[in-house]
Structure 1
Amino acid sequence: MFQPNMNMEGHNQLHHMLDMTQNTSESDIARIRDDDFDSATKSGSDNHEGASGDDQDQRPKKKRYHRHTQHQIQEMESFFKECPHPDDKQRKELSRELGLEPLQIKFWFQNKRTQMKTQHERHENTHLRTDNEKLRADNMRYRDALSNSSCPNCGGPTAIGEMSFDEHHLRLENARLREEIDRISAIAAKYVGKPVVNYPLLSPPVPPPRPLELGVGNFGGQPGIGGEMYGAGDLLRSISAPTEADKPMIIELAVAAMEELVKMAQMGEPLWMTNQLDGTSTLHEDEYFRTFPRGIGPRPTGFKCEASRETAVVIMNHINLVELVMDVDQWSTVFSGIVSRAMTLEVLSTGVAGNYNGALQVMTAEFQVPSPLVPTRESYYVRYCKQLSDGTWAVVDVSLDSLRPSPAVRCRRRPSGCLIQEMPNGYSKVTWVEHVEVDDRGVHNLYRQLVSSGHAFGAKRWVATLDRQCERLASAMATNIPSGDVGVITNQEGRKSMLKLAERMVISFCAGVSASTAHTWTTLSGTGADDVRVMTRKSIDDPGRPPGIVLSAATSFWLPVSPKRVFDFLRDENYRNEWDILSNGGVVQEMAHIANGRDTGNCVSLLRVNSANSSQSNMLILQESCNDPTASFVIYAPVDIVAMNLVLNGGDPDYVALLPSGFAILPDGTSDLGGGAIGEADSGGSLLTVAFQILVDSVPTAKLSLGSVATVNNLIACTVERIKASLSPENA
């Protein structure tokens, strides 16, 4: 375990954060008068107008103020609601429309953001002061009630009949609150060097502030699904919340891990050795153990070290980015291609002053590569968030396996996480460190090179996924339909509903394609395709899935062409009839298109299959394709025409039944894996996972027939053969 030399600055800060929750006053928050905003705007206008050297002479002149017209203010207010951080192009456009200088526009938006922040802080302070007064009044009432003699258990009088039931309840609650304050004070005192006072455990552990949170577990994060696919007794669910005796040790681990993460993110050589050819960083392990001698213990026998660091600038505000990482639902949704399941066991601290500064969460998570040939990595850890300075935050994870020793643990997280720094115009700079020790002997030979290189689970994949997902979120929040979006989407609400439906489809696909401990895969032999694996589940009372028995089938194989070429082939509707047996040779037409980022391949499409047989009804297919330098996906699902019409008109997409199928494309790891080579168009071969979900019986209690298994098996085998034939080097 960590036995760190805790620096006084870290201890004092933790003590200060705990103290702030009880001593917040209006004097702690900057006050800005309502008329300051207009004055600052006038000042900004004058500064821009400037004066010549001759004018700045002997005697002071009265400052000239430029008052914006009501029309100008209304137009800027309206624009601010949609975009509080306009870029240079938008400021120039506003200046032309309103007859103002771009610098005046810039000052107005800067001052408006300051005003909004101040109003928010003032409101928060008022709320805190009201709560403080209420607690003070309650405390006085409790103190008066406790003036009588008390029993050793509850602090109340020995004769309960002398007081009301409510008063007795208040006295019990006050005793519990006193105990909790003593416990927190004892932990805080430990970090400022004062003796720790032993505190009695007179009441059960305080429950977490919110119920257990599930991420993308239970096949796509939908509650109440159950069935054979996800057992209730798997490893992640069997881990219990920490005990009261564990919590001081967890806090100590988290504080020391934060110090290590910040140094790991900022230090260069000799800790990180830079490859001069591609710019990648490799951890010098001997230097690491010299720099951080008090870690979580020696590496277990048979485990390998994987350490990587990556930096990128992403299009998301730093505060929103911190909230995304600290909310298990948002985090597991954004990283659904990497996180197959996640759960918050207990929230030890929610932070102070209404944000995540000082937040501590005990979590479990399962990390995946989208293939049934790579075992998932389960981890039990604490996540700690800290504000390092104004505009700079850090979030660190570190394993708690020492608290729950288990021979089944095959992955330990040494301090890993991200440094988040505020950048102009709503961007953030993210430095990601991923440092694990893992037993990867269960990985199939097909994926061994990719996994052993560190690129399958490393920092580059986390950062690339985050960058792509931030672009997707920015697209979803756009207030007007971009010119690149075409087709039957005619309003903003329809656009949002379609994006939300596609997001659920992607999450569901990713959650069901990996070798999770919650899956029971059966391998079929003699199929004509490499290692086809199947599993079944029952779908009952789930509005997002058709009821009945669902059969899933997946296989992974190698292709001697680049991931970029595979991705472009599979996402293009013009090539779909070359591999999609279900389209039955019909002409595929794109009816709607929503762009999701810089890469033209990142989009959501609604496709219509015009069957060659006029007697058959046309079929609609919802498809999302996404591509980044580390992984690509093409995921689709047949959708009901009536249901999609409701979605396109802004209806609730949660009640559209989906059974997603699709492809996960990864580099094979045999090329030069440095820098950006892993995602370049002409580098190496590809590892392709094909996965189908088919409703084989609409009655959930029915028995699965061997004929159904054979049909799905033939479907996936034929699809694989068609893809191999179309992408063979001879057809290049």
Structure 2
Amino acid sequence: MEGHGEVTARGTGDQNYDGNGNNNNNGAGVSSIGVRRSREDEHESRSGSENLDGASGDEQDIADLPPRKKRYHRHTPQQIQELEAVFKECPHPDEKQRLELSKKLCLETRQVKFWFQNRRTQMKTQLERHENSILRQENDKLRAENMSIREAMRNPICTNCGGPAMIGDISMEEQHLRIENARLKDELDRVCTLASKFLGRPVSSLSTLSAPPMPNSSLELAVGNNGYGHLTTVTTSSLPLGDFGSGISNAMPVVSPTKSTANVTGMERSFERSMYLELALAAMDELVKLAQTDEPLWLRSMDAGGREVLNHEEYNRSITSCIGLKPNGFVPEATRENGMVIINSLALVETLMDANRWAEMFPGMIARASTTDVISSGMGGTRNGALQVMHAELQVLSPLVPVRVVNFLRFCKQHAEGVWAVVDVSIDCIRESSGSPTYVNCRRLPSGCVVQDMPNGYSKVTWVEHAEYDESSIHQLFRSLVSSGMGFGAQRWITTLQRQCECLAILMSSNIPSGEHTAITASGHRSMLKLAQRMTNNFCAGVCASTVHKWNKLNIGNVDEDVRVMTRKSIDDPGEPPGIVLSAATSVWLPVSPQRLFDFLRDERLRSEWDILSNGGPMQEMAHIAKGQDQGNCVSLLRAGAMNPNQSSMLILQETCTDSSGSLVVYAPVDIPAMHVVMNGGDSAYVALLPSGFAIVPDGPGLRGPSNGGPQRVGGSLLTVAFQILVNSLPTAKLTVESVETVNNLISCTVQKIKAALNCES
């Protein structure tokens, strides 16, 4: 390891490195430890800040004689200048570069080697000092914020009069009840005013009556370590295993209370959090009711393939929305699905509450996810009562369906032993009421899952998806798919979860399934899977134009209307070739079943019928890693049967995955030497690749292909084709029209070849 080499270099001779970029030269120290060196080591560069001043050192030790104090000589300014210039470009020169430098500067190679080692150490020390300074500043800022919050809690503001409250420390429960009481009084005053107009006489608002006593602090619903609870009119008890939501009444809709005139930052934050808490409790109540209740709230729809869909009339009658009225132009979408999953409830809850693990569990559905605020991390060392604010970008893999950007609360509660529920709900209503309205193309109504442990490590998962979205932004080809819930609905979440958990179970098992290439080591399996995961994630980000990469959309007249072309610069990413990356994607309807289309595209023997990289011949599978019981879930390494001499160093890495909600075929050319490193367990982060591939989903219910005067056809597939190519190796280069035409022709040619091979050109 290099770090070890640097310590050895600094520890030789009579230089004592003090860790701050300085040298302490002490000849007596050398004598005390009896260091002796041969004549070949007589030259050594000094490290630390003195190098910047142009110092170098020579030492001479005679064998079998007491060591003498070293003589030091300085590098010339020209030598220092040249070494610094090379260091900026290459801090880690190899042996050949050091040899060239030593000849050029009339230095010994050991002097050059030690100069670079010590210069790197000095740079590292400076960076550590800088980072420590930043961390200290952040720590001071957090400490100051913590003190201001504590001060605000010690001096609370009365929500009725705006003055200081007389009670000492007010709990979150009491604070919320005071807010709720003030809101109810305002509402009662408005009702009384309206009643007075109708009755023709004044109606008392009963505001002079004494307030009822505060409830007991023993809470049926504990939300966090602060003892949150009794914050709405909901009374939720622990639910039995077989009955979710018994005893739950409708939650009162969230109404924005009038803010106090006092501008106290700590109180505003506490006020916002109390609103989040109220919304989360109401959303949990609604989710459990949606998960438990059957007809007439949920109906089986033959138009939706027999899946459960929400009866919106019954929903509007029996449930009061906790996020307000539906925006103009938005349409509802609601589905429910049940499934058995190879994961226990605790593991699934931990996955859902961790943004990174959540995104990894649903790779084709979540483009990006993050946790922006943690209101409560749970109580008793568990996730029971955990409440956090999250941001996510949800996607259907097509350029014709916009990414759904949602900001929402995620609330987790344990209802009984082995029974958990996790609910999401958009917070745009709260942010709009606080004076920061933003346009959203989707609102996430109470959605999520109820998880119940089953024997043998399985869980029964009931998933509910409920949203309102702007349908006008979705292409006509995909509207039926999205409105039926097949695009973002519960079935897709459940099937993806089942497939991913099955994959994890197989990969964690010690037995290699039959058909595996045993030449790949266990660490090689992990490296290949990690590389394939990165490849698929980058493919999805290129199709949907998520913010994972900074894409610039191009509007060019000579490109087909339904083809989206984007470009970005790849500069510092070691996993991509540097230069200008062009991404092009389109979606088409084909009158073939999704299974037939998937089997055709993933078959390496038929690849020559559509792939120009196959050089007109079949491909051979060099390696295979199964990711599920279905043969279509795997990672493969392919090689063209008749290799072109100009492409002798290229292989094809391919990942395929499929379930009832859709399929993926993603591939990328990779370098043979790099793949040898990966297959032996090496780091896959430095393997450069640009992915291309296909996404396949069943067409929506009732969707019909173009008739062209003939009978309309039903039951086809929606195929998305996407390519990412490097059009110029210089990031500063300008994109040419020819490059755009090339990738546009590549997509058109590929689609036509697929249609011809499947006999559906018309």
TM-score clears 0.5? yes
Q: Which residue of 2 aligns with 1:506?
A: 536
Q: Choose from 336, 339, 342 the match for 2:363.
A: 336
Q: Which residue of 2 aligns with 1:33?
A: none
Say whether residues 1:363 and 2:398 are aligned partners.
Answer: no
Task: Decide whether the 8 Å contact of 1:343 with 1:364 is kept in 2.
Answer: yes
Q: Which residue of 1 aligns with 2:576?
A: 545
Measure how far apart 1:715 and its partner are.
Answer: 1.6
Q: Choose from 621, 634, 641 the match for 2:672.
A: 641
Alignment of 1:188-199 (within 5 A): 188-190=173-175
- For residues 448-472 of structure 1, what are the alpha-carbon distances to aligned partners after superposition, in whole Å with 9 as ceiling and x for unaligned? 2212222111111111111111112
Say whether residues 1:445 and 2:476 are aligned partners.
Answer: yes
Matched pairs, number = 511
Task: Decide whether the 8 Å contact of 2:532 with 2:653 is kept in 1.
Answer: yes
- SS of match in other structure, 1:512: helix
The amino acid of 1:259's aligned partner reads D
Q: Which residue of 1 aligns with 2:744?
A: 713
Say whether residues 1:397 and 2:424 are aligned partners.
Answer: yes
Q: Which residue of 1 aligns with 2:298?
A: 272
Measure how far apart 1:728 and its partner are.
Answer: 1.8
The amino acid of 1:505's aligned partner reads M
- For residues 53-109 of structure 1, what are the alpha-carbon distances to aligned partners after superposition, in whole Å with 9 as ceiling and x for unaligned? xxxxxxxxxxxxxxxxxxxxxxxxxxxxxxxxxxxxxxxxxxxxxxxxxxxxxxxxx
Alignment of 1:458-469 (within 5 A): 458-469=489-500
- For residues 363-387 of structure 1, what are the alpha-carbon distances to aligned partners after superposition, in whole Å with 9 as ceiling and x for unaligned? 1222211111111222121111111
Bigger Cα displacement from structure 2, 337-346 vs 605-614: 605-614
Take 1:586 and 1:330, find their aligned partners in 2: how far apart are those partners? 40
Say whether residues 1:388 and 2:415 are aligned partners.
Answer: yes
Task: Decide whether the 8 Å contact of 1:665 with 1:689 is kept in 2.
Answer: yes
- For residues 489-532 of structure 1, what are the alpha-carbon distances to aligned partners after superposition, in whole Å with 9 as ceiling and x for unaligned? 2x2111111111111111111122115476443355555x6622
Take 1:172 and 1:332, find their aligned partners in 2: how far apart are those partners? 31
Distance change >3 Å, CA 587–CA 352, structure 1 → 2: same
- SS of match in other structure, 2:428: coil
Task: Decide whether the 8 Å contact of 2:568 with 2:582 is kept in 1.
Answer: yes
TM-score (norm 2): 0.63
- For residues 11-46 of structure 1, what are the alpha-carbon distances to aligned partners after superposition, in whole Å with 9 as ceiling and x for unaligned? xxxxxxxxxxxxxxxxxxxxxxxxxxxxxxxxxxxx
Q: Choose from 259, 262, 273 the match for 1:247.
A: 273
Percentage of matched positions with identical amino acids: 57
Q: Which residue of 1 aligns with 2:526?
A: 496
The amino acid of 2:583's aligned partner reads S
- SS of match in other structure, 1:245: helix
Measure how far apart 1:350 and its partner are.
Answer: 1.2
Q: Which residue of 2 aligns with 1:570?
A: 601
The amino acid of 1:188's aligned partner reads E
Task: Decide whether the 8 Å contact of 2:615 with 2:644 is kept in 1.
Answer: no
Q: Choose from 633, 650, 662 the match for 1:631.
A: 662
Take 2:299 and 2:402, find their aligned partners in 1: how far apart are those partners? 30
Measure how far apart 1:571 and its partner are.
Answer: 0.5
Take 1:578 and 1:599, find their aligned partners in 2: how far apart are those partners? 24
Distance change >3 Å, CA 615–CA 700, structure 1 → 2: closer
The amino acid of 2:341's aligned partner reads V
Q: Choose from 649, 652, 669 the match for 1:621.
A: 652
Q: Name stretches of at least 5 consecutive residues in structure 1 with no aligned partner.
A: 1-165, 197-240, 674-681
- SS of match in other structure, 1:486: coil
- For residues 202-226 of structure 1, what are the alpha-carbon distances to aligned partners after superposition, in whole Å with 9 as ceiling and x for unaligned? xxxxxxxxxxxxxxxxxxxxxxxxx
Q: Which residue of 2 aligns with 1:295?
A: 322
- For residues 284-337 of structure 1, what are the alpha-carbon distances to aligned partners after superposition, in whole Å with 9 as ceiling and x for unaligned? 222212322252112222111111100111111221111111111111122221
Take 2:175 and 2:149, find their aligned partners in 1: how far apart are those partners? 21
Take 1:521 and 1:281, find their aligned partners in 2: how far apart are those partners? 38
Alignment of 1:212-227 (within 5 A): none
Q: Which residue of 2 aligns with 1:521?
A: 553
Measure how far apart 1:710 and its partner are.
Answer: 2.0
- For residues 129-171 of structure 1, what are the alpha-carbon distances to aligned partners after superposition, in whole Å with 9 as ceiling and x for unaligned? xxxxxxxxxxxxxxxxxxxxxxxxxxxxxxxxxxxxx9xx999
Take 1:700 and 1:257, find their aligned partners in 2: how far apart are those partners? 48
Larger radius of gyration: 2
Say whether residues 1:187 and 2:187 are aligned partners.
Answer: no
Task: Decide whether the 8 Å contact of 1:530 with 1:556 is kept in 2.
Answer: no
Take 1:171 and 1:579, find their aligned partners in 2: how far apart are those partners? 63
Task: Decide whether the 8 Å contact of 2:288 with 2:450 is kept in 1.
Answer: yes
- Give the superposed CA RMSD: 3.0
Take 1:434 and 1:327, find their aligned partners in 2: how far apart are those partners? 19
Alignment of 1:53-202 (within 5 A): 186-190=171-175
- SS of match in other structure, 2:657: strand
Distance change >3 Å, CA 617–CA 419, structure 1 → 2: same
Take 2:403 and 2:332, find their aligned partners in 1: how far apart are those partners? 16
Take 1:508 and 1:615, find their aligned partners in 2: how far apart are those partners? 27
Say whether residues 1:260 and 2:286 are aligned partners.
Answer: yes
Q: Which residue of 2 aligns with 1:477?
A: 508
Q: Which residue of 1 aligns with 2:731?
A: 700
Bigger Cα displacement from structure 2, 288-297 vs 662-671: 288-297
Task: Decide whether the 8 Å contact of 2:649 with 2:671 is kept in 1.
Answer: no
Take 1:685 and 1:186, find their aligned partners in 2: how far apart are those partners? 59
Task: Decide whether the 8 Å contact of 1:631 with 1:664 is kept in 2.
Answer: yes
Measure how far apart 1:362 and its partner are.
Answer: 0.8
TM-score (norm 1): 0.65
- For residues 181-236 of structure 1, what are the alpha-carbon distances to aligned partners after superposition, in whole Å with 9 as ceiling and x for unaligned? 9989621335789769xxxxxxxxxxxxxxxxxxxxxxxxxxxxxxxxxxxxxxxx
- SS of match in other structure, 2:471: coil
Take 2:714 and 2:510, find their aligned partners in 1: how far apart are those partners? 38
- SS of match in other structure, 2:173: helix
Task: Decide whether the 8 Å contact of 1:493 with 1:650 is kept in 2.
Answer: yes
The amino acid of 1:250's aligned partner reads Y
Q: Which residue of 1 aligns with 2:590?
A: 559
Measure how far apart 1:178 and its partner are.
Answer: 7.1
- SS of match in other structure, 2:473: coil
Measure how far apart 1:696 and its partner are.
Answer: 1.3
Task: Decide whether the 8 Å contact of 1:305 with 1:437 is kept in 2.
Answer: yes
The amino acid of 1:498's aligned partner reads M
- SS of match in other structure, 1:462: helix
Bigger Cα displacement from structure 2, 509-518 vs 597-606: 509-518
Measure how far apart 1:683 and its partner are.
Answer: 7.8
- For residues 603-647 of structure 1, what are the alpha-carbon distances to aligned partners after superposition, in whole Å with 9 as ceiling and x for unaligned? 110111244544641521111100011111000111111111111
Measure how far apart 1:721 and its partner are.
Answer: 1.2
Say whether residues 1:654 and 2:639 are aligned partners.
Answer: no
Task: Decide whether the 8 Å contact of 1:530 with 1:555 is kept in 2.
Answer: no
- For residues 628-680 of structure 1, what are the alpha-carbon distances to aligned partners after superposition, in whole Å with 9 as ceiling and x for unaligned? 1111100011111111111111112222212111101111114599xxxxxxx
Measure how far apart 1:174 and its partner are.
Answer: 7.1
Task: Decide whether the 8 Å contact of 2:176 with 2:274 is kept in 1.
Answer: no
Distance change >3 Å, CA 172–CA 309, structure 1 → 2: closer
Task: Decide whether the 8 Å contact of 2:653 with 2:667 is kept in 1.
Answer: yes
- For residues 532-581 of structure 1, what are the alpha-carbon distances to aligned partners after superposition, in whole Å with 9 as ceiling and x for unaligned? 22111111111221211111111111111011111000001001111111
Take 1:601 and 1:429, find their aligned partners in 2: how far apart are those partners? 25
Take 2:403 and 2:274, find their aligned partners in 1: how far apart are those partners? 30
The amino acid of 1:246's aligned partner reads E
Bigger Cα displacement from structure 2, 244-253 vs 511-520: 511-520
Task: Decide whether the 8 Å contact of 1:525 with 1:532 is kept in 2.
Answer: no
